[in-house]
């Protein structure tokens, strides 16, 4: 038995209620990246303990979702998780090189 599933913008409209077939939440058109709008989009909201995360805070796609999660986590933990992840990657690279050289 073989099963194949496919989707189109019409499928998205039906299942996620997206009138134009988009799946990325906030519109990611050129206006989305204006300096004025970027200056106002933040993970923290005026409502206590309500935060925004994912691609609506950063960019669309997997990488944007991951960066949005790091940005939101940074606000909640009051530390720069982007920098923490960079430092961790550098330490890991250094340790792996050191182990390889031994």
52 against 88, higher pLDDT = 88
pTM for the model: 0.65
Q: What is the mean pLDDT of the chain?
A: 85
pLDDT at 15: 78
**How many other β-carbons are positioned within 10 Å of the β-carbon of residue 98?**
9
Q: Would the pLDDT of 48 be above 90?
A: yes
36: pLDDT confidence band, cut at 50, 70 and 90? confident
Nearest CA to 71 out of 87, 55, 60, 88 is that of 55
Contact 53, 72 (CB under 8 A): yes
């Amino acid at each position: 038995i073989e099963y194949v599933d496919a989707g189109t913008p019409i499928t998205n409209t039906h299942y996620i209620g997206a009138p134009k077939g988009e799946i990325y939440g906030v519109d990611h058109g050129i206006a989305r990246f204006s300096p004025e709008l970027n200056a106002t989009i933040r993970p923290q909201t005026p409502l206590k303990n309500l935060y925004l995360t994912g691609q609506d805070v950063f960019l669309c796609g997997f990488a944007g979702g991951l960066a949005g999660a790091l940005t939101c986590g940074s606000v909640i933990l009051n530390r720069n998780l982007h920098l923490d992840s960079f430092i961790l990657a550098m330490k890991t690279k250094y340790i792996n090189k050191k182990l390889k050289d031994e």
